[in-house]
Amino acid sequence: MTEPDCLFCRIVSGDVPADVVYESDEAIAFRDINPQAPTHVLVIPRKHIATINDLEDGDAGLVGSLYLAAKAIAAAEGIADAGYRAVMNCNEGAGQSVFHIHLHVLGGRALSWPPG
Ligand code: DGP
């Protein structure tokens, strides 16, 4: 299930290049083009889902796979023990700008809370 006009679907298909750091049957992950931390990786499902609000009950395993990917990426990046953030924005008010769900994996520096 892909959307031809979706940037992240085009990264999944290989039409748009990305620095891919992780791939599984359900998900891929690549470095953010505008990194906000020394490690800033986006984990996305291969399946097009616009926002968290569009998730269905059958997507539970898929969402779990995004967090397992984040765990693997954090270990590979050497940020697992120091700490990192895995966060998903939903809709414009929370800062979502690409409407294909993605988990931001951020680490390699101190991260304050709450976010702005
Ligand atoms: P959000 O604002 O939560 O929707 O995050 C979208 C992120 O996507 C943002 O941090 C920048 C990143 N991004 C936008 N366009 C591209 C792109 O073409 N390639 C890559 N690698 N990242 C992108």
C-beta of 98 in contact with ligand 1 (< 6 A): yes
Residue nearest to atom 23 of ligand 1 (CA): 33
Q: Which SS3 state, helix, strand or coil, does residue 52 take?
A: helix
Q: For 36-95, how does the pLDDT look when each residue is reduced to its tens digit (9 = 90+)?
A: 999 999 999 999 999 999 999 999 999 999 999 999 999 999 999 999 999 999 999 999
Q: Which atom of ligand 1 is nearest to the CA of 34?
A: 11
Contact 20, 30 (CB under 8 A): yes
Q: Which atom of ligand 1 is nearest to the CA of 99?
A: 4
* Domain chopping of the chain, boundaries: 7-107
Q: Write out the E strands in the chain.
A: 20-23, 27-31, 39-45, 84-87, 103-107
**Ligand 1 centre and the CA of 8: distance in Å?**
9
Residue 6, CA distances (Å) to 46, 58, 61, 78, 112 in order: 12, 22, 23, 31, 31
Whole-prediction pTM: 0.98
C-beta of 51 in contact with ligand 1 (< 6 A): no
Q: Give domain 7-107's CATH architecture.
A: 2-Layer Sandwich (3.30)
Judge whether residue 1 has pLDDT over 90: no
Q: Map tokens 């590979």 to a residue.
A: 76
Residue nearest to atom 3 of ligand 1 (CA): 96
Q: For 93-110, how does the pLDDT look when each residue is reduced to its tens digit (9 = 90+)?
A: 999 999 999 999 999 999
Q: State the catalytic residues.
A: 102
